[in-house]
Structure formats: structure tokens, C-alpha cells
Amino acid sequence: MFSEQVESFAGPTMGSTYSVKYVQRRGMPAREELQREAESILAALDRQLSTYRTDSDIERFNTLPAGSCAPMPDEVRALVSAGERLSVESEGALDLTVGPLLDLWGFGPHGHGEQVPDAEAIAAARQRVGYRHLRIDGDRLCKDAPVQVDFNSIAAGHAVDRVAARLEALGVDSYLVEITGELKARGRKPDGTPWRIAIEAPHDHERVAQKIIALDGYAVSTSGDYRNFFEQDGKRYSHTVDPKRGAPVVHRLAAVTVVDPSALRADGLSTILMVLGDERGLAFAERQDIAAFLVIREGQAFITKSTAAFERLFGTGDKQ
């Protein structure tokens, strides 16, 4: 008798790792075939989107001077369009061309150590930042300034969506896909229980669950400033850079989790809310009906706030 059970596979990707758990049912492809399919998608995305390899499609575009166009795969153009929509929606809080500022502050792939740059260096880098300098012309991506595209704010979420969609096409109806921390789950486990994930509390040196949520058909993305930062002269500088200010964010928001049917959108929105901060971010999320859970510094402690959309899905999250 065939018994349904949870199977899993995992591996390295995008400078980090991925993992897939799923319910194996009669008639499904073998685990090895599902893993090959997932890794084929991840390898193709890496060749197209990675800013850590010089031969990727987007890095070849990034080396071109202002006024250039280059043919780009459908996937790259679709992600540029998705990034532009998020940029417009957030009035520039997310910007796929923020790379020179990340590098300047030491957080990007081409950074030279974490340090506080001077005002002139920031002004110079900002001349090479701005999503409006990008445009799509047929199958080509064009730039009218020497901008560079960095998909880190949405690439992992997009990869989750792609792998999840492929699993579904192959008959998998219950899964938990995680890629570099971005997650999406659907269906139930053989015992009837949902897939559950922990929203992490913002502690610098340990992993503690802040809240456990059950997912079915939703993706989860968490952004925070509590691990990737540096300190200089007693001041803390977050890896989240505000494209409009040209500097790391300064606010009380320590971490934010966004839940959305699209992992790409959840990924981008968590970055947007991290840039906007606790007050502007919460107001934006409520306005846009985004399911978001915010962890906010208050002195030496933290408080949490959740949006109406989050509470509809998971119950209240506000507590002292």
C-alpha cells in the first residue's frame, strides 16, 4: 500500500541555500526528478540575474555605458517591469538601480569595506541611481544613465514563485519552498496539519520565534536590520539603504514580515516597508491592504504591530 509522506531536497543557490519539502503522492515524479527541475530553474535564474558573476545577462548589461541597449531574456525584462511597478507604487522606496549606493556603504557585491562615505561620494553615487533611467524597448533593455540593475530585492521571491509553479505543474499540490529565506507554502501535510513557519524575533546573535503562522497558498518574506549592519563612532548603520536619501535608513523598525500570494511581491514589499520605517511603512501597508507584521524598537525592548490584512489572515499580532 502506498503511504503519502513528506519528502525533501535541498542545495546551494544564490550564495545561500534552498530547500523544498513536499507531500509525495502516488503517480508523482520521483524526488530526483523534482530536484533536477528545481535546480534547472535556479541555475537559469543565476545565469540571468546574478550580480556576483561577471557572465550573467544582467552584469553584461551593467557594464554598458549610458545610452546603451542590449537584448535581454524575457525573465530579465519581466523582473525589471515588476521592479518598476513596485518603485512607482512606493514612490521610489524600492529601486533596482540602488547598487552603487549599496557598494559605497560596503553592503553590495562590489563594496570595499563597510564605512561611512563623505557627502561628495554619496552625491556621485546618486547620479548613477534611478529606476527611471531604465526602459524596455521590444526585447531590449536600455539605459539613459550609467545605472546598474540589482535584483536582490525581488530575485529570491521570484525564484520561489517559479519553483512553486513548476512543482504544481508536475502534480505537487502540497509543498513548502524556501530560497535564501523567502518562503511559499500550499496544501497540507499527510496528517492534515498545515505548513507552519516561524517569524523570527530580532535578536542579533540567536534565533527565537516571535510568532508561528500557518500558510496555505501564501508566501512570506522578512526583512530586518538586526544582522547585517556595521557600527562606526557608536552609530549603527543598517544594510537597508534609502535610495532617495542615499544612506542607510534611520528609524525604529527592526524587522518586517509580509505575507502575499506572490513571493516576488512579498519580497519587494518587505524591502519597501523596511525603507519606509515603522510609521510611514505601517501607513503605506494599511493603505495598500498589505498583510504585514512589524517589530519596532522601543527603548531596549520591542513592540509588534500588524496590519488589518495580516490580522484577517492570522489573528491579532499587537502586543507589548
Return the amino acid letter for 193.
T
**Coil, helix or strand for 131?**
helix
Please give the mean pLDDT across all residues of the chain.
92
Q: Which residues of 144-171 are buried (b: 16+ CB within 10 A; e: fewer)?
A: eebbbbbbbbbbbbbbbbbbbebbeeee
From residue 175, how far is each of 4, 41, 189, 194 by CA, in Å?
Answer: 13, 17, 8, 10
Nearest Cα neighbor of 165 from 231, 219, 230 is: 219
pLDDT, tens digit, for every residue of 117-158? 999 999 999 999 999 999 999 999 999 999 999 999 999 999
Angle 135-82-97 from CA coordinates, rounded to 5°: 55
57-143 CATH, one of 3.40.50.2300, 1.10.287.70, 2.60.40.10, 1.10.3980.10: 1.10.3980.10
Write down the pTM of the prediction.
Answer: 0.93
Residue 108 reports pLDDT greater than 80 = no
Residues 6+ away with beta carbon under 8 Å from 266: 157, 182, 219, 220, 221, 258, 259, 260
All 3 cell numbers of residue 124?
556621485
Using CA atoms, how far apart are residues 292 and 161, in angstroms rounded to an integer? 19
Domain ranges of the chain: 8-51+151-183, 57-143, 194-320
Using CA atoms, how far apart are residues 202 and 204, in angstroms rounded to an integer? 6
What's the topology of domain 194-320? T-fold (3.10.520)
Higher pLDDT pick, 106 / 66: 66
- H helices of the chain, in order, are 31-49, 57-62, 74-89, 99-104, 119-126, 155-169, 263-287, 308-314
Q: What is the pLDDT of residue 205?
A: 59
Q: What is the pLDDT of residue 320?
A: 34
Residues 6+ away with beta carbon under 8 Å from 64: 70, 143
